[in-house]
Amino acid sequence: MAWSRLPTLDGVKAGKHWLANLEPSKEARRRRAFAEFKKRIEAALPQDKELSVALREVIGIAQWLGRVDGLREGLELHEYGARILEKTTPAFQSAMKYAIRNPENVSAPEICDYLDEEIRRTEERQKQHRESLSVKIRPPEDWGCETWNEALKNKRSNVDVFVHHAVKEACSTKYNMLCAWRTWGLKRKSK
């Protein structure tokens, strides 16, 4: 069962659009345009002192409201990200990452293959480094399966529900906005 036509990937598109609009070069261009328009309006209002004061107040209030909205959105995204980390399993998070990297064609067998490959890599790393890591992305214990492909054969409906929820969450606008926010923050720090 493929979910290639999930919510038409609106979340992925929204996240990319949001990120593109926050590019530092676009932000600088908008700030310059804002300053220019402000100067032009103030130049047109020198004789009307009351209107000039009202304009400055409106601009101040708009900037304040923008900061408040930005802080509120940032807090909501932070709380959402913390909830994702706290309330989901590492397997769910891995399935979400796979869905984000491959948004066009996601199916339960593909995700199961990916998760099984991750399990195999973790076990290889354990052997090579003699580490005692526990593999946290295995299927839930109550399913009684060692691998995701085994779970796909024996617990198909459970796996389908798991994959559906992971892909739906990964393609949500909120999760993609969180990814875009993180990506934009990383770009700014590296400069």
Of residues 68 and 20, the one with the higher pLDDT is: 68
Winning range, highest mean pLDDT, from 24-38, 131-145, 148-162, 172-186 = 148-162
**Full 3-state SS string of 56-113:** HHHHHHHHHHHHHHHHHHHHHHHHHHHHHHHHCCHHHHHHHHHHHHCCCCCEHHHHHH
Cα–Cα distance between 181 and 175 in angstroms, integer? 10
Q: Look at residue 67 and tell me if it is in a domain.
A: yes
Which pLDDT tens digit goes with each residue over 100-128? 888 777 889 999 999 999 999 888 888 88
Report pLDDT for 92. 93
The mean pLDDT value for 54-70 works out to 90
Q: Look at residue 5 and tell me if it is in a domain.
A: no
Q: How far is CA 40 from CA 43, 57, 177, in A?
A: 5, 16, 35
Cα–Cα distance between 163 and 99 in angstroms, integer? 9
Q: Look at residue 1 and tell me if it is in a domain.
A: no
Of residues 57 and 28, the one with the higher pLDDT is: 57
Number of domains observed in the structure of the chain: 1
Q: What are phi and psi of 2, to 5 degrees?
A: -100, 140
Q: Look at residue 2 and tell me if it is in a domain.
A: no
Domain span holding position 38: 10-190
Q: Look at residue 73 and tell me if it is in a domain.
A: yes
User: Which amino acid is present at 27?
Assistant: E
pTM for this prediction: 0.66
